Amino acid sequence: MSEFVFPFPVLVCDTGGTNVRFALVSQPEGRPGDIVHLRTDDYPGLAEAIEAAIPKLGTRPRSMVACGAGPVAGRTLKLTNAPWVMDGPEAARRTGLKQGLLLNDFEAQALSLPTIPETWERRIGTLKFGAEGPQVILGPGTGLGVAALVEADGRFTAVSSEACHIDFGPISPEEYALWPYLERAHGRITSESVISGAGLARVHRARMMANGAPDPHVDPPAVTAAALADPSGEEAASLRLYWHIVARFAGDMAVTFVATGGLTLSGGVLPRVVDFLDEAAFRQAFEDKAPVDALAKRVPTRLVTREDAVLVGMAAIASAPDRYAIDYASRAWV
């Protein structure tokens, strides 16, 4: 066991390709305070964003737990969908932080799973969380994140993945029809290119072109807004297909990790389109995994509705770092 300690107050930070969110945790076991939202593109890097957030937070932090949407290499992280290179020691030096830790965003999401109460979730289906076994969390935003959580000897370990970049193909006549019209990302059709926020628009555009209409050239917010305005329209039909695609990918990840502890959906996209979730259809697509469908049927599913869940999870890491099997010696900014 380590004797690693984060000096308080601790700044917790969630950085994506579009937004960066900060909150201050004043004391151990404390909850994050008010969230400060900034646009990632408005700042050249992490240090500048920290300095912009501090006056709004009211107190200068002494340490930090941060996560970002990209792979971690030691104490640095390159955002996948933004030009930032998050260098922990450099940010600490420039902002006066005594200590810090940098996590992949879905590594942090996975480590946050033990802190999520039932009041923050929308259960999908009848199965309740609480069974033993690995858990999986996935969620679409600017990109698509996937990670797992395992527990051993009372300590939690996150298992990161790049499952967002696996090839993804059609399985139904409706999907076969639209697949030739899907816009490719980096020359490929991947799970992220279909399930991310941009993927929502790609699915709608491809579906319309497969039906003989011209490319509508719409972005994800426009698809969502039109669907909410007309639940019987084409955009709403595309959103229901999108949920089906999310469900079958979620089922793939559940059986990949044998996630008997449950699968959690998060991210910036799904809570906005939850009105188009058909729970029975979701579970049917999720469980259709023969010959391991019996396994899939054992996995509970839920959607996290609180946007600050990962910040609360990082606050828990700062309060009790020994509960988490993290190699602080090689990863912390000491």
> Are residues 278 and 243 both part of a single domain?
yes
pLDDT of the residue at 259: 97
What percentage of the chain exceeds 90 in pLDDT?
Answer: 86
The number of distinct structural domains making up the chain is: 2
Asked whether the predicted pLDDT for residue 43 surpasses 80, the reply is yes
- Mean pLDDT on 287-305: 97
> Are residues 216 and 319 both part of a single domain?
no
> Are residues 153 and 294 both part of a single domain?
yes
User: CATH number of the domain that 235 lies in?
Assistant: 3.40.367.20
Tokens of 21: 């969110």
- Mean pLDDT on 179-190: 95
Asked whether the predicted pLDDT for residue 324 surpasses 50, the reply is yes
> Are residues 28 and 83 both part of a single domain?
yes
Residue span of the structural domain in which 72 resides = 10-111+308-331
Burial (CB < 10 A; 0-12, 13-18, 19+), residue 264, is: buried
CA distances from 51 to 45, 95, 100, 311, 331 (A): 10, 7, 16, 19, 23
Torsion, Cα 9 324 144 82, to 10 degrees, reads 40
Taking only the tens place, the pLDDT of each residue in 228-265 is 999 999 999 999 999 999 999 999 999 999 999 999 99
> Are residues 299 and 185 both part of a single domain?
yes
Asked whether the predicted pLDDT for residue 104 surpasses 80, the reply is yes
> Are residues 278 and 314 both part of a single domain?
no
pLDDT of the residue at 4: 82
> Are residues 89 and 138 both part of a single domain?
no
1-5, 82-86, 129-133 — most confident range: 82-86
In a domain, 1, yes or no: no
> Are residues 133 and 190 both part of a single domain?
yes
Task: For the chain, report the end-to-end CA distance as a whole number of angstroms.
Answer: 17
User: CATH number of the domain that 65 lies in?
Assistant: 3.30.420.40
Distance CA 11, CA 92 (A): 11
> Are residues 257 and 159 both part of a single domain?
yes
Asked whether the predicted pLDDT for residue 135 surpasses 70, the reply is yes
Burial 54-80 (b: 16+ CB within 10 A, else e): beebeeebbbbbbbbbbebeebbbbbb
> Are residues 27 and 169 both part of a single domain?
no
Helix (H), strand (E) counts: the chain: 12, 14
> Are residues 22 and 137 both part of a single domain?
no
Distance CA 334, CA 332 (A): 6
Asked whether the predicted pLDDT for residue 50 surpasses 90, the reply is yes
> Are residues 226 and 131 both part of a single domain?
yes
Q: By C-alpha distance, which of 81, 85, 94, 89 is closest to 50?
A: 94
Question: What rounded mean pLDDT belongs to the chain?
Answer: 94
In a domain, 2, yes or no: no
In a domain, 53, yes or no: yes
Taking only the tens place, the pLDDT of each residue in 122-133 is 999 999 998 899
